[in-house]
Amino acid sequence: MRPIQARISIGAMAHNLRVARSHSGAAQVFAVVKANAYGHGLSRARRAFAAAEGFAVLTLEEAANLRLMGVEQPILLLEGMFGPDEIATCAELDLCPVLHHAAQLDWLQQQPPARPLQVFLKFDSGMHRLGFPLADHAAIVSRVRSLPGVAGITLMTHFAQADETAGVSWQLHPFLNELAGHDLPWSSANSAALLRYPETRGMWTRPGIMLYGASPYADQSAAELGLRPAMTLQSEIIGVQTLQPGEGVGYGLLFRAEQTMRVGVVACGYADGYPRHALTGTPVSVNGKMSRLLGRVSMDMLCVDLSVCPEAGVGAPVVLWGEGLPVDAVAAAAGTNSYELLCALAARVPVIEVD
C-alpha cells in the first residue's frame, strides 16, 4: 500500500474546543465545520465537538448531514439561503440562516416557512464582503422583526483584520454602538478575534481554524496558544538518489546540488493536497529530524534533503505537517495559510482516526 496517510486526532480536536470554550466565557460556541470540517471530516467533527453549543456550516447538505448524525444543537447556515427554494428545508431542519442581503428578506416575506426561524442578521462593519450596511440598520432590523417567518434575531458581523495589528476595534465599536438600541444578542468572533479580544464574544462565538490546531496569527504559534494539531499528514521515503555536484532533481531540475548529497523521494505530491507552490527549503520532517523540500513538487512525489539524516533510507517516516511540524510553518513557506492546506487534503489520502 502507498504509505501516505492523514492521522486525525479526535482528542486534539476536543482539546482545542475546550480552549475555545475557555476563551468564550459565558458565550456559546458555534464550532465552525464548513468545508468538510476544514478537511477533517464532518462526522469526526461532530463527535469531537459534541460539547459545542452549536455548529456552523455553509450548505444545506452539510446541515442535513449533521441532523442525520443526530446533532440536536443549533446549526448556523453561514451564508443563509442561496435561493427561495431553500427556505422550507431551513425550517424542516430547524436551521439558523444568516440573512445578509435584501433578496433573502423578500424570499422570506413571499414564502414564509411553516415554522418561524431564528435568524442571524449580518451587518457589514468594514470587511465589505457580506452584510447590510450598518447605516441602514434601523430599516433593516424593523423589516426583519416584522417578518412572520422570523422568530428571533441575533446580530452578526465578521472581522477583516482580527489577525493583524489593525485588530477589531475599528469594526467592533461602530457595530456595537450603531446596533445598541435594538437590544438584541450578537455574534462577531472568529478564532483570531476570540483568542485576542474577549470583548468580541457576545452571545455566540464562531471559532474555526483554532479547533483544528492551527494558529490564526503569523506572529504566534498554535503551541503558544495551547492548541494541538488535529491532522498529521505523513508518508515514507520510497526511493533514494545520490546527486553529484551540478546535478538537479525533479521537473525542471529546479534544485541543483552543490556537493555530493543524498536525496529522498517521498510518496506525497500535489494530488494528495501538498502545495505545488512550496519551494526548496519548505520544512519536512524526516525520521524525526527537520529537513527540507528540494525542487518542484510532483503530482505523486516530492524530494527531500537527506543530508541531515544519513541513516534515513527507503521506509523512513516523513511528516509533511502536523505532529512535530506545524502546518502553519509549511503554509508560510508555501505562500499560503493553514486553512488552504487543511481543506485541500485529497480524497485519495487514507485517513486514520486516532484518539
Ligand X SMILES: *Cc1c(COP(=O)(O)O)cnc(C)c1O
| Catalytic machinery residues | 34, 251
In angstroms, give the least distance from the CB of 313 to ligand X. Answer: 40
Residue showing the smallest CB distance to ligand X in the complex: 208
Nearest C-alpha neighbor of 196 from the set 228, 229, 163, 243: 163
Radius of gyration of the chain, Cα coordinates, nearest whole angstrom: 23
Closer CB to ligand X, 78 or 95, in the complex: 78
Name 264's bridge partners: 240, 304
Residues 6+ apart with CB under 8 A from 160: 126, 127, 128, 129, 171
Kindly list the residues in this chain that would bind ligand X in the complex (CB under 6 A).
32, 34, 78, 158, 190-192, 206-209, 216
In angstroms, give the least distance from the CB of 98 to ligand X. Answer: 7
Closer CB to ligand X, 154 or 285, in the complex: 154
Name 125's bridge partners: none
Closer CB to ligand X, 19 or 319, in the complex: 19
Nearest C-alpha neighbor of 86 from the set 102, 72, 98: 98
In angstroms, give the least distance from the CB of 123 to ligand X. Answer: 12
What distances in angstroms separate CA 120 from CA 98, 132, 267, 336, one per listed residue?
Answer: 4, 12, 45, 31
What is the rounded distance in angstroms from the CA atom of residue 267 to the CA atom of residue 260? 23
As a residue count, the chain comes to 355
Closer CB to ligand X, 118 or 280, in the complex: 118
In angstroms, give the least distance from the CB of 58 to ligand X. Answer: 8
